[in-house]
């Protein structure tokens, strides 16, 4: 993808830097950083759209949120976020924002705690929960809980972070002809090469229609990959 962005938009490199470097530094829950605001949320949503499915109306919906409501909602979510093993309550609060479904809510929480919270990325779910198969995803709380648990087991066993797992999964699933064991960095590759914990078989998963991360937005059939 070209690095040149449209006027008023950030380049893909700038969005990557914000998502993986600037945002975690600004909003880390272990630091006394500033509160996340609407423009920050919009930048993260823009990053998500460039790396995933194209939903033309999603940004307009996110932009329609009131600035103060966004800041207060995120603060409330962080207040109830107590342990990395239980993100359910925090995500439920974040999804009250217009245009924010479970996947995007997990992204907002992940930049606050990249060590423990994994972003509900398609690639991460395919790799950890579908044996690498691109099965339909419902984008619901139950699936995120499954992904979160698989990521927690892996990060604990290999001494890596949740964001490490996310990034490796993206590379693995977008590198045609590769396998996790041959493409992933040594630590994470052990997940599939060294007899890792069993995951639900993709063949046993219910083949349900895919629903949009943000239920209020009509799903577009157009797909754009970063």
pLDDT tens, per residue, the chain with 226 residues:
445 556 667 899 999 999 999 999 999 988 867 999 999 999 999 999 999 887 889 999 999 999 999 999 999 999 999 776 679 999 999 999 999 999 999 999 999 999 999 999 999 999 999 999 999 999 999 999 999 999 999 999 999 999 999 999 999 999 855 444 434 444 555 444 444 443 444 444 544 444 446 443 333 444 333 3
Report yes or no on 209 lying in a domain: no
Report yes or no on 4 lying in a domain: no
Report yes or no on 18 lying in a domain: yes
Structural domains in the chain (count): 1
What pLDDT is recorded for position 18? 97
Report yes or no on 98 lying in a domain: yes
- Is the pTM higher than 0.95? The answer reads no
What pLDDT is recorded for position 4? 56
Strand partners, 83: 86
Report yes or no on 199 lying in a domain: no
Domain span at residue 103?
12-174
Report yes or no on 190 lying in a domain: no
């Amino acid at each position: 993808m070209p690095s040149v962005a449209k006027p008023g938009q950030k380049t893909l490199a700038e969005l990557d830097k914000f998502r993986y470097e600037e945002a975690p530094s600004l909003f880390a829950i272990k630091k006394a950083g500033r509160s996340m605001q609407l423009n920050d949320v919009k930048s993260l949503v823009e990053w998500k759209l460039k790396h995933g499915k194209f939903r033309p109306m999603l940004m307009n919906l996110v932009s329609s949120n009131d600035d103060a409501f966004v800041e207060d909602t995120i603060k409330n979510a962080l207040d109830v976020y107590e342990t990395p093993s239980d993100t359910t309550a925090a995500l439920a609060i974040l999804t009250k924002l217009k245009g924010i479904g479970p996947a995007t809510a997990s992204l907002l929480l992940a930049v606050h705690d990249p060590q423990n919270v994994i972003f509900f990325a398609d690639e991460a779910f395919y790799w950890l929960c579908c044996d690498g198969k691109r099965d339909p995803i419902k984008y619901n709380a139950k699936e995120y809980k499954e992904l979160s648990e698989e990521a927690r087991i892996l990060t604990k066993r290999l001494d890596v972070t949740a964001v490490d797992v996310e990034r490796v999964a993206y590379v693995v699933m977008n590198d045609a002809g590769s396998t996790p064991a041959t493409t992933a960095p040594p630590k994470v590759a052990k997940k599939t090469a060294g007899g890792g914990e069993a995951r639900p078989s993709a063949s046993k998963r219910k083949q349900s229609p895919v629903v949009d991360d943000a239920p209020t937005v009509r799903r577009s059939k157009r797909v754009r990959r970063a």
